[in-house]
Structure formats: structure tokens, C-alpha cells
Chain A
Amino acid sequence: MQANPETVMLELRDVSLNFRTSKGTFDHGVHHVLRSVSFQLFENETLGIIGRNGVGKTTMLRIMAGILAPTSGEVLTHPGKTASLLTIGLGHKPDLSGRDNALLSAMLQGASKQQALTYLEEIKAFSELGDSFEEPVKTYSSGMKSRLGFTTALLTHVDILLVDEILSVGDAEFRKKAEKAMKDRICGDQTVVFVSHSEGQITDLCDRVLWIDQGRVCAAGEPGEVLDLYRASMR
């Protein structure tokens, strides 16, 4: 679906985020994560965010999801629209079975208990965990854990989906299935913000890209152009 530049779903205006670290490192103990970040997110678009590790990408998603508040600046959301992070392994408790963990994750994502119970068979089938679904999660391999995590995360139904680097789950076969499910979601009627280190995924999925460095927006625009600038900066 095409992006609709008429409707702004979410806007960050001059957003900065600092926090005090207990040790007196950085700027007199103040750590600047984001510095005057501004951008708009339009309805139905898929906005990619690229940048090296530790430049503030996750913090930006957390601000968009309403988990953190900016130290200064404004976050404007279209009235009645919700934004939420797509997260793997929400609240996994190792001593509980996959089924119990899936129930808990679904409820944490806003489902009522009745709704969550109806999702469980679907989760069991998609994750292909079979009988292991009834076993404690501590007996799972890391691949099995991410299968369970990805499948429950896929249930998130929100207006703005914020995705933080999650398309590298499970073995090759499951990854293909996960990527397809994710693509169907992104290409459908969904506004998405997508953080990734994979240039392939960014070019494939995104309408527009933001490049973040040291808490600032360095460039924004067509994926091809922004990725060229980003690559050039790495040399």
C-alpha cells in the first residue's frame, strides 16, 4: 500500500533525550542520547532507520512507543492512533511452558484473557514447536525460543508498528517464513518504523530512510540515496 503523505501518524519535533549517569563520565555525568531529532511519519509508509550501534535508534523507538518521554521537544501522535514495539520474548519466564508464556505475552500486548486463549493454537501451529509447546521454556534451544517469541510478537495489532531488528530468527527455513509474514504485514495497510542493519531488507521494505548518527538525523529520504551516504560515511 502507498504511503499517504496527507495524514501524519506521528511527529517528533526537536526531540532530545539526556539522562544522568551515576558516574561522572560524559558531559558532567549527563549522557546525550538524542539531540534535536525531528521527523514525520505518514500513514501506511514504512520508514527505515539505519545507523551504527549505540547511536540512539532503540531510544527513538522507545520514545515513539510512549515508553520514554523526551527531555525536551514534542512527540505528536495522530489522535486515537497507537504505536507499539514488536518485541520478541516478551516476559519469558523460563520455568513456565511455551503455552503459558505465549498467553502472558499476548495479554501484555493488550489482549484480554479470552482473546489470548484463542490465539494459542495459532501460535503453536505457526511456531512449529509441537509437543515442546507444553514444555518449560528453559528446555528450549535459542532457536526454539525465538520461534516462540517471533510468533507471539506477530500478534501485536497496532496502528504504528515499531520493529527493532528482529528478522534474524530461527533456522533458515523458519527465517524465510518469518520474513514472509513480516513482509505481508509491512506491505499491507500498516504504518511501520523499521530499524535494521540489513541494507537488503531496508531497500526491499522501506519507502523512506532516516540515517541516525550520534543522536542526530544525518540524512532522510529515498532508501538508495540515504544508504549511499551512510556507506560513504563508513569508509
Chain B
Amino acid sequence: MTLSQYFGLVDVQARMLLKADAAKFKLGILWWFLEPLIWVCVFYVVFNMILDSGRKGGDFVLFLAVGKFAFIWFSKTVIQASGAIIAGQGLIGKIDVPKSLFPMSAIHESLYRQSTIYLLLFVILLLGGVSPGLGWLWLLPIALTTYLMIIGCGFIAACLVCVVRDFQKFIPLGMTFLLFTSGIFWDVRTLGDTQKMEMLLWVNPLAFIIDAHRQALIHLTAPDLLHLAVIALGSVVAIVLSLWYMRRYSKLIALQVLT
């Protein structure tokens, strides 16, 4: 399969997944927007109204929306990609295709979805009183790095699930762990201990990515570019290694999936 065929197929598969998903529900593509918005509402009620986050209501909504929207992109996509090869069982038994096609289609589908969610986010920011500025352009390298990180994690998760199916049980647990440790409803910058904050941002790249989203979109400031570059590079290494594994052991993966 040539590269252009591969990407052509990824694109068509992704569009078809979107179409099929929209056709399944009465509210169709409205769900793309509704789901993250509902999440923000739930978090707002719990952490601002019940637990009292100590922030002004409007600010907290922006803070939550930016963090949660970025987190949902990561978590939903990695979960989806992790099961994609197994879900492609029917096809794998019939044709010899690159196994990365399955997680890549799922990741590409969510890229389409996320691009509209970013548009929604800009509307929320404008309504929330953030004046647009050139600082928003920092979103480009940040979103690109997030995308690379999603591909890296999604590919690795997909390979692991093929090797040991039980791994699929751990992925949602891991996402819940990340939900609590990445600073979605609390601010990593309010951790009194700077050393602890630095450590958290380096150990958990997702916490850095979410903070970087807030820095760029709410405060219009640049993220730590070196840190961002390290995450991007690490993701590229993960992508290359998992692609190598999926190519090298393509037939073994097929046997594991089929038996």
C-alpha cells in the first residue's frame, strides 16, 4: 500500500466513522458540542457550586472549558485507538492491511471532531470576555504536539491491547487517574511547592499540555517551548517505535486478533 493510498483510506475511514456516528443519534453532530459542554457543566456544579473552588464563576468556566476540552480529545481518542485493531478483526481476517490503519483512522476521526470543538472554544472565550490576540496563535504548536502525543499513546495502547487483551481494562482506569492528576479542575500553578509543580509537569506531559492550552488561550502567553519540543520529540519516538512494531509483527498481530 502506497503512502497516498494509506492516507486516502485513513481519511475516508475517518469521514465514514463520523458519518456513521452522526447517523446513530437523533441529535447527530450536535453531540460533538453537547458532550464536552455537559462535562464542563458537571464539573462547574461539583467544583464551583458544591466544593467552592474559590474562583469567580465566569473565570472558572473558561478555565474548565479549556482544560476539559483538551483532556477529552486526548482521553477519548486514546481509548478509541486502543481498541481499534481488535475492533478491526473482521477486516484483518480478510485482507492484509497495515495494522496502524485502524488506530490512525480513529485518531483522524477525532481530529476532525476536535477542530470544530476548538471553534466552539473560541466562541466561549470571546463570550467569557477574553480579547483575542496574537497569543492565540500559540495554540498551533500546542495542538500539534497534543496530536503527536495522542498518536504516540494511541499506537502504543493499540499494540499493548493486541499483546495482552486485559490491558484494555487498564486504559479507562489510567484515564481517570490522568483526569485527577492533570489539573483539569484545579490549577497546577496553585500548587504551593514550585518543585512539586515542575516535577508534575515533567512526569505527566498531559498536565503540561493542559496548562499550555490555558496559557495560550486565556492569558495569551507562550508556553515553555523547550518543554513542548521535548514532548513532541518523545511522541515522535513513540510513534516510530510502535509503527515499527506494527509493521514487523503485522502477521503475528493478525493471528493474535483472530485467535
Interface residues of A (CB under 8 A from B): 19, 21, 31, 62, 65-69, 84-85, 87, 90-91, 93, 95-96, 100, 103-104, 107-110, 112-113, 136
A75 CB to nearest B CB, Å: 11
A21-B259, A107-B9, A113-B8 known; A65 vs B96 contact (CB < 8 Å): yes
30 A-B residue pairings within 8 Å (CB atoms): A19-B255, A21-B259, A62-B93, A62-B254, A65-B96, A66-B96, A67-B93, A67-B94, A67-B95, A68-B255, A68-B258, A69-B255, A84-B95, A85-B94, A85-B95, A90-B91, A90-B94, A90-B95, A95-B19, A95-B21, A95-B24, A100-B16, A104-B12, A107-B5, A108-B9, A108-B91, A108-B97, A109-B95, A110-B1, A113-B12
- Specify the chain A residue showing the minimal Cβ separation from B92: A67
- CB of A100 within 8 A of CB of B19, answer yes
Min distance, Cβ A132 to any Cβ of chain B, angstroms: 16
18 additional A-B pairs beyond A66-B251, A93-B16, beta carbons within 8 Å, are A19-B259, A31-B259, A62-B254, A65-B96, A67-B95, A68-B255, A69-B255, A84-B95, A85-B94, A87-B95, A93-B20, A95-B23, A95-B24, A100-B16, A107-B5, A107-B12, A108-B91, A112-B5
Closest CB of chain B to A28's CB: distance in Å?
16
How many residue pairs link A and B with beta carbons under 8 A? The number is 69
Question: Within the complex, which residue of B4, B23, B24, B254 is in contact with A67, where a contact is CB–CB below 8 Å?
Answer: B254
Q: Report if B168 contacts A (CB, 8 A).
A: no
Q: Which 8 A-B pairs have the closest CB atoms?
A: A69-B251, A95-B20, A87-B94, A66-B96, A95-B23, A19-B259, A67-B96, A93-B20
Q: Which residues of B contact A93 (CB under 8 A)?
A: 16, 20
Q: DSSP class of A's interface residues: helix, strand, loop or mixed?
A: loop
0/1 interface trace, chain B 92-109, chain A, CB 8 Å (1 if under) = 111111000000000000
Chain A nearest CB, measured from B14 CB (Å): 11
Interface centre among B13, B96, B254, B258 (most CB of A within 10 A): B96
Contact pick for A104, options B1, B4, B16, CB 8 Å: B16
In the complex the two chains form, what is the Cα distance from A68 to B94 in whole Å?
10
Chain B interface size, under 10 / 10 to 19 / 20 to 34 / 35 or more: 20 to 34
Report if B163 contacts A (CB, 8 A): no
Residue in chain A with minimal CB distance to B252: A69
Asked if B128 lies at the interface with its beta carbon under 8 angstroms from chain A, I say: no
Whole-angstrom CA separation of A113 from B258 in the bound complex: 28
**Contacting residues, chain A, for B141 (C-beta < 8 A):** none
Please name all residues of chain B whose beta carbon is closer than 8 Å to the beta carbon of A96 when the two chains form the complex: 16, 19-20, 23
Distance in angstroms from B246 CB to nearest chain A CB is 14
- Chain B residues with CB below 8 A from A113, complex form: 8, 12
Give chain A residues whose Cβ lies under 8 Å from the Cβ of B12: 103-104, 107, 113
